Amino acid sequence: MKRCLLLFLLWCAWGISLLASASSGRFPSLEPLLRSIDAAMEEHARYVDIREQRIRGLKLREQVRPVSSRSYFSGLDSIYREYRAYNCDSALLYLRRGLQWAEEYGTAGDCLSVRLKQVFHMASAGMYREASDVLREEVPRETVPAALLPDYYYSCYKLYDEMVRYTQDEDFRRLYAARAVCYSDSLQRVLDASSPLGLERKEHALRLVGRWGEALAVNDRRLAGLTSGMSAYALAAYQRALIYGNMGNRAEEKHFLALSALTDIRLAIADHASLWDLAHRLYEEGDVERAYRYIRFSWQETSRYNARSRYLQTSGILSLIDQAYQTIQDRQALRLKWSLVSISVLVVLLGVALFFIYRQMRRLSAARSSLEYANGQLRLSNRIKEEYIGRFLNLCSTYIDRLNTCRRSAVRSGGRQDIWAAGRTREEELKELYTNFDEAFLKIFPDFIEQFNDLLTPEERIVPKSGELLNTELRIFALIRLGIDDSATIAKFLDYSVNTIYNYRAKVKNKARCPREDFEAYVKAIQ
């Protein structure tokens, strides 16, 4: 019965663990950081509202500025920077307004600066032809002043680097890659090496040639001057993740992708790649459910940003993860179905087991009640036995005393002394009484002497003499075992004085292994 119950409990545990495994996470390494991302996604509407309020504030200030003032032009640029990573179309709109202002009120340098921003932004958004047209028609190399050369080379590099990513033809890819390298080299020559962009390009160049340690050192310098609440931090963390990815360090790569993605979400940056890359890594490692949530969120942000290149970047992996997620959902549904079936079976078996357990408990309760009744009857029987034994012994002792008294009286009154003398003496009768007592007692308690001696120290064990069954000490405590513990009664039966009996009892107690005051209780417990 016990074995069956154990097997049943193990089966229950298996069923519970089956349900738990269907819902529990299996990827604890990044769990605290990933939970922060999950929480930020839940709070995303609040972060978007913060950015929207900031944009509305900039627009309100722009309305009260004179259109011809340079502060108005600066305000347009501030609104563009807010939209740059938030909404592609709105960013282009404010670039066009900035260009209109520059053509009407500004300088040739202002026009070139805005057009280079257009090129950079359109290249990032996948508008490669438009960006190329602006470069070719509106920004000839020879017209660019030295102060704008970093912006010019960076815009050209951005255009061809993006075209490499999304061009399928291998010949064109090699062409665009070569031009990107050329413009990158030109950019590095005109940049201040200690500037933020100079450090970024240096880190990029080191990463391309596989000098990972040096690239990380440069990235350390970049991160040292940034905080997690800055968009530049998100970019630097993402680029650090790229270094670790090239090194094959997946743990650190995911860590910095998560940091970058968390910053992007909290800043309401819609144009980001970190969350997409993180989702891809989680998918590769089997965490399809979380990868699905992240790629769906990234797709929603891409839709709001509205850049064609980001659609191309996200759509492929989105479809792949979506299929895998649906497969996982189907498997979980099937597992849940079988789990419910198993639980139903377990519930039925549990009901059957409880029924049998209840019936067994009732039987056990009845047996326990019967046993308690039997024990009660046995205890009553023992008390009656001990009471009658005690009374019988008292009666025998009294009878012998009376008989002896009668003998002495008859002799004194002139009776026939020879007749009385021919009878047995009192000592002989007592001896016979004690012998009968010893034999009867040892038949009831055959191990009394051994158990009694176990209560004494080894050197003080009491051993009857040859021909004796019990000696005086043993007989005293035999009477105590029978429930006769009154010294006067014992003295009367054994034909001793009360003081003698008391001394015997005290002497034996002093030899006990147990506490002196508990000795007689242990004697009464002898079986």
- 69-126 residue pLDDT tens: 999 999 999 999 999 989 989 999 999 999 999 999 999 999 999 999 999 999 988 8
Q: Which of 38-47, 104-113, 182-191, 297-306 has the lowest mean pLDDT?
A: 297-306
Of 226, 261, 280, the residue that ends a domain is 280
Check the CA dihedral 388-392-395-401 and report its sign: negative
Joined tokens for residue 498: 């009360």
Does a structural domain hold residue 396? no
Does a structural domain hold residue 287? no
Confidence of residue 13 (pLDDT cuts 50, 70, 90): very low
In this prediction, residue 382 carries a pLDDT of: 62
Instruction: Check if the beta carbon of residue 34 is closer than 8 Å to that of residue 258.
Output: yes
Does a structural domain hold residue 390? no
**Per the structure, how many domains does the chain have?**
2
Check the CA dihedral 186-106-84-133 and report its sign: negative
In this prediction, residue 19 carries a pLDDT of: 39
> What is the rounded average pLDDT of the residues 421-433?
68
**341 vs 505 pLDDT, higher one:** 505
Cα(185)–Cα(175) distance, integer angstroms: 16
> What is the rounded average pLDDT of the residues 189-208?
92
In this prediction, residue 418 carries a pLDDT of: 53
> What is the rounded average pLDDT of the residues 204-223?
94
Does a structural domain hold residue 402? no
- AA identity, residue 313: Q
Average pLDDT score, the chain:
83
Joined tokens for residue 137: 């028609």
Does a structural domain hold residue 267? yes
Instruction: Check if the beta carbon of residue 485 is closer than 8 Å to that of residue 505.
Output: no
Q: Containing H/E element for 282?
A: helix 274-284
Q: Which of 128-142, 198-212, 283-297, 360-374 has the lowest mean pLDDT?
A: 360-374
Residue 324, classified by CB atoms within 10 Å of its CB into exposed (0-12), middle (13-18) or buried (19+), is middle
Give the total residue count for the chain: 527
> What is the rounded average pLDDT of the residues 506-524?
88
* Residues 424, 275 within the same domain: no
In this prediction, residue 404 carries a pLDDT of: 64
In this prediction, residue 314 carries a pLDDT of: 56
Q: Does residue 330 register a pLDDT over 60?
A: no
Cα(473)–Cα(511) distance, integer angstroms: 12
Cα(119)–Cα(151) distance, integer angstroms: 10
Does a structural domain hold residue 301? no
| Sequence-separated (6 or more) residues with CB below 8 Å from residue 235 | 200, 260
Cβ–Cβ contacts within 10 Å for residue 142, how many? 4
Cα(125)–Cα(134) distance, integer angstroms: 15
User: To the nearest whole percent, how much of the chain has pLDDT over 90?
Assistant: 40
Tell which residue, 128, 205, 196, has the closest CA to residue 163: 128
In this structure, what CATH number is given to the domain that contains residue 119?
A: 1.25.40
In this prediction, residue 487 carries a pLDDT of: 86
Of 233, 263, 280, the residue that ends a domain is 280
Burial pattern 67-76, b for ≥16 Cβ within 10 A else e, equals eeeeebbebb
In this prediction, residue 423 carries a pLDDT of: 52
Q: Does residue 244 register a pLDDT over 90?
A: yes
Does a structural domain hold residue 475? yes
Q: Which of 176-185, 275-284, 396-405, 504-513 has the lowest mean pLDDT?
A: 396-405
Joined tokens for residue 279: 């989702």
In this prediction, residue 27 carries a pLDDT of: 43
**342 vs 519 pLDDT, higher one:** 519
Does a structural domain hold residue 17? no
Alpha helices in 413-468 (DSSP H): 417-422, 426-444, 448-454
- AA identity, residue 154: Y
Confidence of residue 261 (pLDDT cuts 50, 70, 90): very high
Q: Which of 92-96, 347-351, 381-385, 499-503 has the lowest mean pLDDT?
A: 381-385
Joined tokens for residue 466: 């040859």
**DSSP, res 273:** S
> What is the rounded average pLDDT of the residues 170-174?
92
Instruction: Check if the beta carbon of residue 482 is closer than 8 Å to that of residue 383.
Output: no
Cα(201)–Cα(198) distance, integer angstroms: 5
Q: Which of 364-368, 414-418, 425-429 has the lowest mean pLDDT?
A: 414-418
Instruction: Check if the beta carbon of residue 280 is closer than 8 Å to that of residue 261.
Output: no
Of 259, 280, 301, the residue that ends a domain is 280
Please tell me the chain's helix, strand, coil percentages from 3-state DSSP, rounded to the nearest 5: 80, 0, 20
- 340-370 residue pLDDT tens: 877 888 888 888 888 888 888 888 888 787 7
Domain of residue 266 covers 28-280
Confidence of residue 386 (pLDDT cuts 50, 70, 90): low
**Beta-bridge mates of residue 456:** 512
Cα(495)–Cα(220) distance, integer angstroms: 107
